[in-house]
């Protein structure tokens, strides 16, 4: 559950009316609830109390420094997929020993950076990557701790763009090939096998695919042990879904119970990489209505947030609830809520029945705490929005809205290209 509710007819985060924040920081902005964030961390951690484990928050869901600092404070580690995320995780106070590094395209310099930092493990996604990591570790006089990210070929039954654990996906190494890579890794002088990993997709609303994956991994673990290969960590990735509309994903406690039962007795330290389930419902995107526009076919509500601010509807056809800032009696109508970007895919909601909005009204796009700001861009030269964190009756701007000058950052016009 979250912390965004009406008080005296005004939509608030905790005790703070979103309209007050809009007044002070302008629109659009992301608003995160600190108490909700803490509650979600606890909801994930509680069922795992007493179980040897490390939760590594998937930074790509929300890399805000304040948000990740809260994770660090609660003992969470990080799952990073780039040098930039590694940098941010360390800056947020997450110790390197709690950082796992996933992703199919790690560059030499990113690998070096992770080796220098001394991360917990690399999740290896290809045979070539394994060789490169062994070589880089050799150059640096280190041993790289590795797990192989196994692609167990299970269907997570989610949107195809966020499914990662099927044979047709670019992620991980197929079961049979994983055995081969482990045998190779065992012979490599600068690599230490510390774990086994899988991550099958995102926004999963059932536990069965997770359990299928565990079962397949167990068979592989057994085969590896017959080859004298053992390790400390079993990394089960992230992917637990949240409620955007009427999905009914398992509660983290049900997820934990099912997983603990499935892994029972392996004696491995469990690693989890949740992203969305921790932050998704901690945040909303607040935007202001600019115009109403009637065409023969549709009514458009044109707002000041676009696909550059929140791309999920355009990219995944994702559904986000939309709430008016003011709860007052009014008619409803069917509308498209669209942004100012020059693309027809620039919508936040399509064919949605909503209360009638007028120019100047505020609305909240709900469940925007995951894959919201992190996926934002400056497309159409739109400065990226502000991020605000609310703690009960206080709020803090944790990321300044970009200024126009920021759009020029790093740019340079060489004299030589200017005609005389």
Ligand X SMILES: *Cc1c(COP(=O)(O)O)cnc(C)c1O
Where helices occur in 145-275 by DSSP H, the ranges are: 175-187, 208-226, 252-263
147 lies in the site for ligand X, by CB under 6 A? no
Q: Distance (Å, rounded) from C-alpha 150 to C-alpha 216?
A: 10
User: How far apart are CB 319 and ligand X at their closest, in Å?
Assistant: 16
Task: Annotate 272-306 with b (16+ C-beta within 10 A) or e (fewer).
Answer: bbbbbbbbbbbbbbbbbbeebeeeeeeebbbbbbb
The site string for ligand X over 367-386 (x = CB under 6 A, - otherwise) reads: ---x----------------
Q: Which of 27, 202, 281, 399 binds ligand X (CB under 6 A)?
A: 202
Q: Which residue is nearest to ligand X (CB)?
A: 275
Options 125-133, 197-205, 304-312, 374-382: segment touching ligand X (CB under 6 A)? 197-205
Question: Which has the closest alpha carbon to 177: 219, 215, 143, 220?
Answer: 220
Q: List the helix and strand counts (H, then E) for the chain.
A: 11, 21
Tell me the number of residues near ligand X by CB under 6 A.
Answer: 19
Q: Which of 145, 156, 237, 339 binds ligand X (CB under 6 A)?
A: 237
110 lies in the site for ligand X, by CB under 6 A? no
Q: Distance (Å, rounded) from C-alpha 99 to C-alpha 119?
A: 5
273 lies in the site for ligand X, by CB under 6 A? yes
Q: How do beta strands 394-399 and 347-355 pair?
A: unpaired
Question: From residue 136, how far is each of 66, 112, 187, 346, 370 by CA, in Å?
Answer: 33, 7, 16, 43, 33
| Residue 300 or 316 with smaller CB distance to ligand X | 316
Options 128-136, 253-261, 275-283, 341-349: segment touching ligand X (CB under 6 A)? 275-283
14 lies in the site for ligand X, by CB under 6 A? no
| Residue 60 or 288 with smaller CB distance to ligand X | 60
| Residue 237 or 252 with smaller CB distance to ligand X | 237
Helix (H) or strand (E) run with residue 316 in it: helix 312-316
Helix (H) or strand (E) run with residue 110 in it: helix 108-117
Tokens of 154: 């299970």
User: How far apart are CB 311 and ligand X at their closest, in Å?
Assistant: 15
Triad 100, 263, 191: Cα angle to 5°: 35
102 lies in the site for ligand X, by CB under 6 A? yes
User: First and final CA of the chain: distance in angstroms?
Assistant: 63
Tokens of 140: 């640096």
98 lies in the site for ligand X, by CB under 6 A? no
276 lies in the site for ligand X, by CB under 6 A? yes
Tell me if residue 56 is catalytic: no
| Residue 85 or 325 with smaller CB distance to ligand X | 85
User: How far apart are CB 247 and ligand X at their closest, in Å?
Assistant: 13
320 lies in the site for ligand X, by CB under 6 A? no
Query: For binding to ligand X (CB under 6 A), which residues are involved?
Result: 58, 60-61, 79, 81, 102, 199, 202-203, 237-240, 273-277, 370
List the catalytic residues.
342
């Amino acid at each position: 559950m979250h912390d965004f509710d009406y008080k005296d007819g005004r939509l608030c985060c905790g005790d703070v009316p979103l309209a007050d924040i809009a007044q002070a920081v302008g629109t659009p902005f992301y608003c995160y609830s600190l108490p909700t964030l803490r509650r979600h961390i606890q909801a994930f951690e509680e069922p795992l109390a007493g179980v040897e484990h490390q939760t590594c928050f998937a930074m790509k869901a929300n890399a805000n420094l304040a948000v990740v600092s809260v994770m660090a404070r609660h003992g969470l580690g990080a799952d990073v997929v780039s040098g930039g995320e590694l940098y941010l995780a360390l800056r947020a106070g997450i110790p390197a020993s709690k950082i796992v590094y996933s992703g199919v395209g790690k560059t030499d310099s990113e690998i070096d950076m992770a080796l220098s930092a001394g991360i917990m493990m690399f999740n290896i996604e290809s045979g070539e990557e394994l060789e490169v990591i062994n070589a880089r570790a050799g150059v640096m006089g280190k041993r790289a701790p590795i797990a192989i990210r196994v692609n167990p070929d299970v269907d997570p039954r989610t949107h195809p763009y966020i499914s990662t654990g099927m044979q047709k996906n670019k992620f991980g190494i197929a079961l049979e090939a994983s055995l081969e890579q482990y045998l190779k890794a065992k012979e490599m002088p600068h690599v230490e096998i510390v774990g086994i990993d899988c991550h099958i997709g995102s926004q999963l609303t059932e536990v069965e695919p997770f359990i299928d994956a565990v079962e397949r991994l167990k068979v592989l673990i057994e085969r590896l042990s017959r080859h004298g290969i053992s390790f400390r960590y079993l990394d089960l990735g992230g992917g637990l879904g949240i409620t955007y509309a009427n999905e009914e994903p398992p509660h983290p406690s049900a997820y934990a119970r099912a997983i603990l039962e499935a892994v029972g007795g392996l004696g491995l330290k469990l690693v989890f990489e949740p992203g969305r389930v921790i932050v998704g419902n901690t945040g909303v995107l607040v935007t202001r209505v600019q115009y109403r526009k009637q065409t023969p076919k549709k009514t458009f509500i044109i707002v000041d947030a676009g696909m550059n601010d929140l791309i999920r509807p355009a990219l995944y056809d994702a559904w986000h609830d939309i709430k008016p800032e003011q709860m007052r009696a009014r008619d409803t109508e069917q509308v498209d809520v669209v942004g100012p970007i020059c693309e027809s895919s620039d919508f936040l909601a399509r064919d949605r029945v909503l209360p009638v909005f007028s120019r100047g009204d505020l609305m909240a796009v709900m469940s925007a705490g995951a894959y919201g700001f992190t996926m934002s861009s400056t497309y159409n030269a739109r400065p990226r929005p502000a991020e605000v964190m609310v703690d009960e009756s206080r709020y803090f701007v944790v990321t300044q809205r970009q200024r126009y000058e920021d759009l020029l950052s790093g740019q340079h016009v060489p004299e030589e290209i200017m005609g005389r």
